[in-house]
Amino acid sequence: MATFLEGVGSIGVACTLAALVPAAALVLVARKARLTVALWYLVGATLLTWARAGGHWQVELSGAMVPVAAALAAGAFVLAWWARKPASLAATGSGVVAGALAGWLWRPCVGRRLGDILDDVDTEAARTLGLMLVYMAGALLPAVLLAVLPHAVPATRRLLDRLLVAAVGATVGAAYAATLATGRYDDIVGELYRIATDS
Amino acid sequence: MSLSFVRYLALGVLVAGVAAIAWTTLGGDEAGDVAVTTTTTVPDATDDPDVTASTVVATTVPPEPIEVLGTADTLTNLDGWLNTDATSLEEIRAANQLTVVQFWTFGCRNCKNTLDALGRLYTDFRGQGMEIVGVHSPEFSYEADVDNIIEAAAGLGVVWPIALDTDKRNFHRWQEGNIGYWPRVYVIDGDNQIRFDRKGDGRATYEQLYETVERLLAEV
């Protein structure tokens, strides 16, 4: 529970926004498969974050990988839009790819429990993978709640199903891909954070 | 499974999630940290059958040797130093038996959480052969501005030497393999060996750091 709450506590931190903003935008775009996309995003982000920490994924985001990352981001948003059913390959693929991309890009500000997880990744693989999933569930909670909202409060479905809402998500997705391509994504998130904390 | 059950389940998740966010926003996740002292509870050796009290006996576990975790790298391609006349890590290491190197950035909340503990370390052991070097590796562009760093360091009470690693070259070289965490702290001994390497802002981590520095200084 403490690990989950530490993840929740990191929601407002700029480091976490870099993973959370694309997740929320993807959920807005995936009108027919919000929950599927959100949950697979969580799985993808957890796996890549854990794999990086354990040294199992060492591909650097530089050179030729920059346009690849941007293309993956754009592709994940297109797939999310195309997904017509919750149990579809498009929805699953969109969530996994976007989540894995977030896990690849994410440079976390490390709290106590995440620090312990990262310190133990080499020696306790299974336990730390589970704990990482719990932590990420907390950090990405707003995106999951956004996906759950129309199921919990059906009246919100009409609002969330509007094309305008999906367009907002798509705009964020396009900006995400564009800033990834130009290497400016972290700076934009940081600037948003600075503006928010200065006001 | 009926539709209403799914709705109730979703509603439960929603309420619990919002409650978790509210709880952490209001500071509810400031639970106590792990204790450092090991305690053992043993029955009280008394002849009086009415007395059922037990006694908590603190036992000190013999400390394990402090491992050598590898050879420390150096700091290169820096954009300068603050709070010191030194111009290299080697210069600082030569003047001290231990060097605590922390990678941090002033906008990182978890880094800020560690500054009180580092301040205590600095107060207690500076002048006894230990120096702290805060390697400032900015995550965002506003953290790269040297005026912002100076202002933040003054405001946060960071009085120990700061190495300006603006392009994060050292941050990435010290943390090999497509990773990089803030904060991360190392202790380097007089033989340039890493004796402590931890990530995160845990109180237990910084208590262990204090204990490690204290023990290593005593060994010298």
Q: What is the pLDDT of residue A48?
A: 94
pLDDT score of A184 more than 50:
yes
Mean pLDDT along residues A100-110: 89
Q: How far apart are CA A22 and CA B49, in angstroms?
A: 66
Beta bridge partners of B43: B54
Among A143, A119, A139, A121, residue whose Cα is nearest residue A130: A121
Which of B29, B114, B206, B207 is most worth mutating to test chain A (most A CB atoms within 10 A of its CB)?
B29
Residue pointed to by tokens 């010298």: B220
DSSP assignments along A116-129, one per residue: HHHHHTTT-HHHHH
Cα angle A5, A116, B119 (rounded to 5 degrees) comes to 95
Q: Which two tokens stand for residue B98?
A: 């231990």
CATH fold for domain B70-219: Glutaredoxin (3.40.30)
Q: How far apart are CA A79 and CA B180, in angstroms?
A: 30
Q: Write the residue in A2, A52, A151 that is nearest to B10 by C-beta.
A: A151
Residues A99, A43: contact at Cβ < 8 Å?
Answer: yes
A-chain CB neighbours of B200 within 8 Å are: 110-116, 118-119
Beta bridge partners of B184: B103, B199
Q: What is the pLDDT of residue B30?
A: 53
**Backbone dihedral angles phi then psi of residue B193, each to the nearest 5 degrees:** -100, 140
Among A178, A130, A147, residue whose Cα is nearest residue A30: A147
Among B132, B82, B138, residue whose Cα is nearest residue B107: B138
Q: Helix (H, G, I), strand (E, B), or coil: what is residue B164? A: strand
Tell whether B22 is within 8 A of chain A (Cβ). Answer: no
Q: Looking at chain B, which residue has its C-alpha nearest residue A141?
A: B17
A-chain CB neighbours of B143 within 8 Å are: 190
Tell whether B69 is within 8 A of chain A (Cβ). Answer: no
List C-alpha distances in Å: A42 to A39, A48, A87, B145, B167.
Answer: 5, 10, 16, 34, 30
Mean pLDDT along residues A109-119: 89
DSSP H or E stretch at residue B82: strand B81-82
Q: What is the pLDDT of residue B58?
A: 54
B-chain CB neighbours of A100 within 8 Å are: none
Among B112, B209, B88, A178, residue whose Cα is nearest residue A170: A178
Q: What is the pLDDT of residue B178?
A: 67
Distance from CA of A58 to the nearest CA of B (A): 5
Mean pLDDT along residues A179-193: 80
Q: What is the pLDDT of residue A191?
A: 76
Whether residue B180 and residue A107 make contact (CB cut-off 8 A), yes or no, is: yes
Tell whether B10 is within 8 A of chain A (Cβ). Answer: yes
Whether residue A119 and residue B199 make contact (CB cut-off 8 A), yes or no, is: yes
Residues B195, B166: contact at Cβ < 8 Å?
Answer: no
Gyration radius of chain A's alpha carbons: 16
Mean pLDDT along residues A158-163: 89
Length of chain B: 220
CB atoms within 10 A of CB A193: 21
Beta strands B193-199; B184-188: pairing state:
antiparallel
Q: What is the pLDDT of residue B179?
A: 77
Distance from CA of B74 to the nearest CA of A (A): 22
Beta bridge partners of B71: B193
Beta strands B81-82; B70-71: pairing state:
unpaired
Q: How do residues A18-74 score in pLDDT, each as one tens digit? A: 899 999 999 999 998 999 999 999 999 999 999 988 888 888 777 888 899 999 999
Cα angle A13, A18, A24 (rounded to 5 degrees) comes to 100
pLDDT score of A196 more than 90:
no
Q: Residue A85 is which amino acid? A: K
Length of chain A: 199
Q: What is the pLDDT of residue B27?
A: 67
Distance from CA of B121 to the nearest CA of A (A): 19
Q: How far apart are CA A13 and CA A190, in angstroms?
A: 9
Residue ranges covered by each domain of chain B: 70-219
A-chain CB neighbours of B140 within 8 Å are: 14, 186-187, 189-191, 193-194
Q: Percent of chain A beyond pLDDT 90?
A: 54
B-chain CB neighbours of A113 within 8 Å are: 200, 202
B-chain CB neighbours of A24 within 8 Å are: none
DSSP assignments along B112-157, one per residue: HHHHHHHHHHHHHHBTTTEEEEEEE--SSGGGT-HHHHHHHHHHHT
Q: Looking at chain B, which residue has its C-alpha nearest residue A6?
A: B29
Provide the ipTM. 0.75
Q: How far apart are CA A92 and CA B144, in angstroms?
A: 39
DSSP H or E stretch at residue B110: helix B109-125
Query: In tens digits, what is the pLDDT along chain B, a chain of 220 residues?
Result: 566 777 778 888 888 888 888 777 776 655 434 333 333 333 343 444 444 444 445 556 667 788 899 999 999 999 999 999 999 999 999 999 999 999 999 988 899 999 999 999 999 999 899 999 999 999 888 899 999 999 999 999 999 999 999 999 999 899 876 678 899 999 999 999 999 999 999 888 999 999 999 999 998 7
